Structure 1
């Protein structure tokens, strides 16, 4: 790996961690540079600005989570069990990487401009998750898979809200409650 690519990757990893733990608005480019062990001009040599860096960090987080969820779902043999398995993965994700809730919803709350690259990354993440849930519901034989997927996404986003408001200790209960609600929705919609 070239030194330039290595520096860029280090910047993305550091930005992902610091923006998630401290917030995008509360974190300066100087802090990201310090965390990455580079100079501020080095940050700007790789990214046009803080929004582009934050959006890239969010896309990186998405890529990791999407791969993790794909692996998780690959271990579920029955298509009818996969929509519900998203909630077991969500419980795992909150235990391991979700102390501040959903990085994407947190970023959306901080981004006012709908044309900001951060907002674009958030919308892409939520569209991807809705599309995935729709596919899983369709494969499970759920009636109105688009509707069920939307309802499941509302439950998932609700878990994130609960974690933001009540802290990481609320995650396990929130996911459990959401999974129970999901089971009812899925059972009601199975053809």
Structure 2
């Protein structure tokens, strides 16, 4: 753990001189001008909290790596549309959708089918799928949040997506469960 005074001195000596170049880097890689200063502050915050456990040897590389990773994370999260926001599409004014009435109705019906498919999943699988595919969390983040292993998250995500695809294609949308080992062994012997 780095002493606060040492950390502050490091930040002023190594990171603050990068401010102009860091701002230019963020501006080149981000499309919304109004968010640039907030993003820079986020990078500073992450740099300080990360350096608290040990000062990096090369502050410049450290800060730019944090900035790049943060921009990627923010961009990825902004591309995700919450399903409950989309589910409320019926409350939008009619002229807000330039699509034909048929396509509009078809889209609403598909959304209802997705929701019905999600509702058919077991609660844990549904929760994992929502965190992974709707909220956009990584397997590692979901595993940490739910207190399960990353392999379990990946397994449940895979099973849930297969069941949801099956449901959307007209199937029952049930997760296929393997028979217990003894039962499989008996059926193989017969």
TM-score higher than 0.5 here? no
Which structure has more RCO (C-alpha within 8 Å, separation ≥ 6)? 1
TM score, norm. by length of structure 2 = 0.26
Of structures 1 and 2, the larger Rg is shown by 2
